[in-house]
Structure 1
Amino acid sequence: MKRILLFSLLLPLSVSSQSNDKMCETLSKINALVKENHFQPKPVDDSLSVFVFDKFIDGLDENRNIFTKSEYEKLSKHRLLIDNYIAKNDCSFMNDFVSIYKKALERKKSVLEKLETVSLDYNSQDSVKFSKDQFPFDLTENDFDRVWKKRLRFDILEDISKLSKNADSLQLHFTEIEKTIKQRVFDTNLCKVNSILNNKNGVKSILKNDFLNAFCYYFDPHSNYFSFDAKSSFLSGLSTSNLSLGIEVSMNERDEIVIEEIVPGGPAARNSKIEVGDVVTKVSNTKGEEYWVSCSSMETIGEMIFSDHNKQIELTLRKKNGTTIAVLLKKKVMKATANAVYSFIAEKDAKVGYIKIPNFYADFDERSPKGCADDVAKEIAKLKKDNISGLVIDLQNNGGGSMAEAIKLAGMFVNAGPISVLVDNNHNQNIINDFFRGEIYDGPIVILMNGYSASASEFFAAALQDYNRAVIVGSTSLGKASMQTIMPLEENNENDFVKLTIEKFYRISGESHQIKGIIPDVFAPVLFDSLIKRENSFKTALPYNAITTSTKYNPLPKNITSEIINLSKTRIDNDLRFKELKSINEEINFTYNKPRNPVRLTFTDVFKEVHDIDSLWEKVKNATEKENSLLIYNTSYDTKKLASDDFQREINTFKLKDIKSNPYLEEAINIINDYKKFKQ
């Protein structure tokens, strides 16, 4: 009997020890890969310890309402020792995090269950504070009832306020609405806690993944650890469903599902209520099953959205202005479009070709030569047949993709010569050359960019700018000039991978756009530009630097371009629409940068806080939907092709509408017309 008892007491310690050993083994392999392959590996020292600890603890308790001050202090003893643990191959420190985190979650659950049965007072003088800086860890065991009661009241009042702009109507039905919203808020919070406590892989597995990601992030924001878990399975399967809602999604830093793209011609595109940037908060089907994204596994959400068994799905969406809407969509079989790149002719005094490149895609299976560069070449062939006098290449919101495609495409517009310089962690320079003489198009080119234009987009734009081959219009790009590769932790390991930054690329002048971004030749106001999270906002981003390189190249003369750029700047300064965008931006910047005052926990005060920016959002909506004065139509080739294809015609209508509201295209055509005049 004593032997059995002794065995049962030792078993948890043995399992925990094995788990720590496994984590240390993974951490050791990641560290070895980083040292050998990362572009700029950093020493594993106290700086790493502090950064990883702080990032890890922030992820566990970002809002400072989970841990007590004494619990944080217990964990803080590890803050300067993580580098020592790595050196000793000792990951037993994770036991402290797991036990304290579980205790904190159990306490939160208990507090929520207690408050769920209590009537909440919405007429008190209590208020909530907001801060861009994180609050300190200063709670005691006795504070949680008070803190969570305030937090929950605010959440309930905020959700009620988002239901309508009519305060009187909400106030009239407040009691019945509050009952429903209160239940939902408590269910969501309890669900979040239970989803962690009852995770099939255990709390320790969640913390292990978070810690390993924090470790990788220390070296740069684009390096991370991942395995084929629910998230990767969910995201990788988005484009493979037979029946589709016609949306592409991504996950933001808060693990929320965000509508990233609406596929033209699909169910979502036909519903005018759905917009890019909407956050999916809940999904449900016609069988009465519903799941909140905040506390459901990605397998469950993925099955609901993408399974062919659910032919109708209701998406509950949180709009950019905070309001919530529910949209019922019926899935349909989506035909594959010919390619992602597309073109139109835009006319104002002259015919100009417009090409949209959403991303630098490629056939990674290498089954065919099809890719972004070849598709652009096809579109240019169509446009040239219709005698265009200039070309506009739209890279707005193009987040990058295949560098091989970007290199190939840049070479199509450069006669011959170097395009870029790649540098590895040994400072070896690899000059990327275009060896094929000639250009697919030798007329004037304007490139449109914004703060979301990144990576391969920046590579392509930099090459054309260095050769004076194009005028760039818009706002400064993201500022990412690094290359990543995905590496298994060891051979034949298909479960654990690290995405590592292994190279940095430089312009042929030796300059880099890392951190700086591609600076446009002509700045034009872009809504929300100052709020875009560019590379320079990440603490661990690779620094800017320039190199001395042996590249020799022959750019086109810049005398004409300089005069054209000055004319464009003058036009933009005097253009009414750009003045409007600039004015709205000033209001956006003021609204988002001003300190938020404390808000009393009454319906009146919270409603005012929620709807304070309604007028601003209305201005944004009106400005973005305003149409330009251009004549836009299809190439003669596409016109014939569309005549017999209803589906493609529907997609074409969607694209046309998008281009008609592009305020930068008209100025791009003005630049091309100026170029023609100067050449004459």
Structure 2
Amino acid sequence: MKKLSLVLFLTTFSLLGQNSAKTCELLSKINVLIQREHYQPKSVDDSLSVYVFDTFIDGLDAGRNLFTKTEYQNLRKHRLLLDNYILDENCSFIDEFVSTYKLALERKKKTLEKIQTEVLDYNSKDTVKFSKKSFPFDLGIKDFERVWRKRVRYDILEDVSKMSANLDSLTPHFSKLEKISKAKTFETYLCKLNGILNAPKGIDYDLKNDFLNIFCAYFDPHTNYFSLEAKSSFMSSLSTSGLSLGINVSLNEKEEIVVSEIVPGGPAEKSKKLEKDDVILKVSNTKGEEYSVSCASLDKIGELIFSDTNKEIELTIQKKNGTILPVLLKKQVMKATNNAVFSFIAEKDSKIGYINIPNFYSDFDGFSPQGCADDVAKEITKLKKDKIEGLVIDLQNNGGGSMEEAVKLVGMFVDFGPVSVLVNNKKKHTILKDFNRGSVYFGPIVILINGNSASASEFFAAAMQDYNRAIIVGSKTLGKATMQSILPLDGKQQDFVKLTLEKFYRVTGDSHQVKGVLPDIALPVLYDSIVQRENSFKTALEYDRITTKAKFNAFSKEYYPTLIEKSNLRSRNNARFNEILSVNVKINALYNDPKKPLPLTFKKVFADVHEIDLLWKQVKKITKTETNCTITNNSYDAEKVAFDPFQQEINAFKIKELKTNPYIEEAVAILNDFNNLKK
């Protein structure tokens, strides 16, 4: 028995050694590529070492309830040495992280399995503490049972509390409900632990990928390491079409992944086995990778489902009647409806065209002849036939995408001239120009933005603002003014880096890096101050300006002061915008103010869980309130939708969403003001 254990022990470390050697090889290749091509490469020194170590440790034990103080101190000896290891191509230190992490996970599993058999005391005087900052690593071996008993009790009390907003309806049934929540809590915890410990490619593989990503992120937040599967998934997300199962999914109120839409003509619809609201319990591919939805991360599940390297996916689903069955689906090339541009007519005193651009998708894989710019042109053609008097382009929550599509889109509204200035790591300036004479639309434009408008959408909004071609309305954008490209590490095409190669500047020489694109007319936006923008990343590139030779002819701004004044007056007197301002004060306090220690009793946890009920009711009321703006299809789409029941359902949903959007109503009012001033 001892001999067998020794063989297994040596085999394990032999495999770890092989993996650490491969990691070192990849790190070396990544570093060479970054130092040669990155817009602003940094030295591999102590600063990198500290950033990578701290970020890596935070990812492994964010709650400070996994490692002991001794284990952390033992790993901490590497904190200032990672740069030396990397330069010396000695990555054996990763083996120590892997073995320590695995040992800590096994200990956590044993601790939870022991607590699972116990009768938990909900009448103790224990409290739980909350902190916006990280707790120190100060636990000893004997502390874990105490810490995890408290954590488990809190999770169970929280789960029971969420079952109803009425304490009196829960209290008489607490014992029964506690058993249900306890079973669910331990099942989730242990399932997640087993998922990590028995990961298809091993813990060391996942930690290696995390480490490589953190190393890349030191140079800037948008430089990332990609395996072939991750690269395929990322590219698919930016494409207008690709291999698809023909379903869209969402989270329900129980945070289960459910089928929200079945696309006509797709694999799911053809199977005749899937229905809307089916719960997805498990996903697997033909390579032996399998994830239980209740305990795997959404990133893992998403990568498995959406990566084009997985041609077939088996979904284990639960029907409404409780029946559980497997469904094997073979992907097929389909138009990605969630990426597609769409348009409507928004009316309030005049007829205004509305175009929504979800992201700047492009057909990277050659399945389709066009990207979002061509799709926008088609929507404008439809809207012009309905004699619109202005155009609203909605970039709210548009996370960006293809820069080429953004350049093409600017060119559709600007006759001719420079669009932006790209600067590489050699400080070479390249002026991006619109070489196509003419425009597809000559009327007034309002562009809607918010804190989630990023990258290519900022690029487009900034160029339109510099030319005074559109009035920018909403809140400050994310603040990303860098351009990335996915480059292979070698000829094998198995490992890639999404690398920041250039920084782009406005034709004025200014930049919106970190600063964001500032709206001409600012409007209150829910959650605006807690949106994670570029300036929240430690390694974000800094804001600066350049002197540029770009020459351009901007449109007149003579009406802007009056338009801004009229809009600001409406905004100040708008009950909904004032309610957003009021609610944001409460949301900011909820997220930013320190939280007091909470006694671990049912009444106290229930009160804490439901303390924000009134606030969320206010938020829901704000988001569901309809405007006085009428939303209808353009005449072309109205005729097309009339004969398609499935599209009618999607269409009705979109109209309902747009009817509750106060920014569209204000954009229409601004365009009405503009047209009245011009008369």
* The two structures share one fold, judged by TM-score above 0.5: yes
Q: Judging changes above 3 Å, is the alpha-carbon distance between structure 1 residues 644 and 435 closer, same or farther for their aligned structure 2 residues?
A: same
SS of residue matched to 2:295: helix
Trace 1:140-539 onto structure 2 (pairs within 5 A): 140-229=140-229, 244-247=246-249, 283=281, 291-295=292-296, 313=318, 336=335, 340-366=340-366, 368-491=368-491, 493-539=492-538
CA apart distance, 1:366: 3.5
Contact 2:246 2:263 in 1 (8 A): no
Separation of aligned partners in 1, 2:100 and 2:500: 34
Deviation at 1:65, TM superposition (A): 0.5
Q: Deviations over 1:99-136 (max 9, x none)?
A: 22222112111211111111110011100000000000
Residue 572 (structure 1) aligns with: 571
Name 2:286's counterpart in structure 1: none
Larger deviation, residues 592-601 vs 222-231: 222-231
Q: Post-superposition shift, 1:180? A: 1.8
Residues 364 and 337 from structure 1, CA distance in 2 versus in 1: closer, same or farther, beyond 3 angstroms? closer
Give the AA of the match of 2:50.
V
* Counterparts of 1:74 and 1:654, CA distance in 2: 56
Structure 2 residue aligned with 1:55: 55
One-letter amino acid of the structure 2 residue matched with residue 30 of structure 1: I
Task: Summarize the Cα distance change of 1:575–1:15 in structure 2 as closer, same or farther, 3 Å threshold.
Answer: closer
1:128 aligned to 2:124? no
Q: Deviations over 1:469-509 (max 9, x none)?
A: 11111111111111111112111x23221111111111000
Q: 1:236 to 1:464 in 2, by over 3 A?
A: closer
Decide whether the 8 Å contact of 2:38 with 2:501 is kept in 1.
Answer: yes
TM-score (norm 2): 0.88
Aligned twin of 1:318: none
Q: d(CA) in 1 for partners of 2:203 and 2:6?
A: 25
Cα distance in 2 between the residues matched to 1:345 and 1:124 = 61
Shifted more, 113-122 versus 361-370: the winner is 361-370
One-letter code of the match for 2:657? D
1:64 corresponds in structure 2 to 64
Residue 560 of structure 2: aligned partner: 561
CA distance in 2, matches of 1:63, 1:231: 30
User: Which region of structure 1 is more displaced relative to structure 2, 205-214 or 303-312?
Assistant: 303-312
Distance 1:347 1:297, change over 3 A: closer
Distance 1:654-1:9 versus aligned 2 partners, 3 A rule = closer
1:242 touches 1:308 (CA, 8 Å); kept in 2?
no
User: What's the CA shift for 1:308?
Assistant: 7.7
1:96: how far off? Answer: 1.9
CA shift in 2, pair 1:618/1:220, >3 Å:
same
Q: Compared with structure 1, are the counterparts of its residues 233 and 293 closer, same or farther at alpha carbon in structure 2 (3 Å cutoff)?
A: farther
Of 552-561 and 630-639, more deviation after overlay is shown by: 630-639
Aligned to 2:273: none
Q: 1:66, CA displacement in angstroms?
A: 0.8
How far has the Cα of 1:48 moved from its partner? 0.4
CA distance in 2, matches of 1:465, 1:548: 19
Percent identity over the alignment is: 56
Deviation at 1:182, TM superposition (A): 0.9
Distance in structure 2 (CA, Å) of the matches to 1:312 and 1:200 = 21
Q: Tell me how far apart the structure 2 counterparts of residues 44 and 85 of structure 1 sit (CA, whole Å).
A: 10
The C-alpha deviation readout for 1:183-238, integer Å capped at 9, x for no partner, is 22112222222222222333222221111111111111111112145896699599
User: What residue number does 1:253 align with?
Assistant: none
Structure 2 residue identity aligned to 1:627: E
Q: For the structure 1 residues 282 and 151, does the alpha-carbon distance in structure 2 shift closer, same or farther, using more than 3 Å as the test?
A: farther
Q: 2:484 corresponds to which letter in structure 1? A: Q
What do residues 572-631 of structure 1 show as CA deviations (whole Å, max 9, x unaligned)?
Answer: 111122111211212211222221111111111111111111111111111111111122
SS for the counterpart of 1:545 is coil
Q: Which residue of 2 is the match for residue 34 of structure 1?
A: 34
On the 8 A contact 2:161/2:609 being kept in 1, the answer is yes
**What amino acid maps onto 2:248 in structure 1?**
G
Letter in 2 for 1:223: T
Partner of 1:650: 649
TM-score norm. by structure 1 comes to 0.88
- Counterpart CA distance in 1 for 2:198 and 2:12 is 18
> Which residue identity is paired with 2:516?
G
Listed as ranges, the gaps of 5+ residues in structure 1 are: 250-255, 275-279, 316-325
Letter of the structure 2 residue corresponding to residue 109 of structure 1:
K
1:293 partner amino acid? S
Counterpart AA for 2:182: K
Find the counterpart in structure 2 of residue 23 from structure 1. Answer: 23
Q: Say whether 1:668 aligns with 2:671.
A: no
| CA positional deviation for 1:146 | 0.6
**1:352 and 1:389 in contact (8 A); partners too:** yes
Supply the distance in 2 between the matched residues of 1:402 and 1:298 (Cα, whole angstroms).
Answer: 22
Q: CA deviation at 1:20?
A: 2.2
What secondary structure is seen at the aligned counterpart in 2 of 1:397?
coil
- Distance change in 2, residues 1:646/1:43 (3 Å): same
Note closer, same or farther for the CA distance 1:234–1:87 as it changes in structure 2 (3 Å cut). Answer: closer
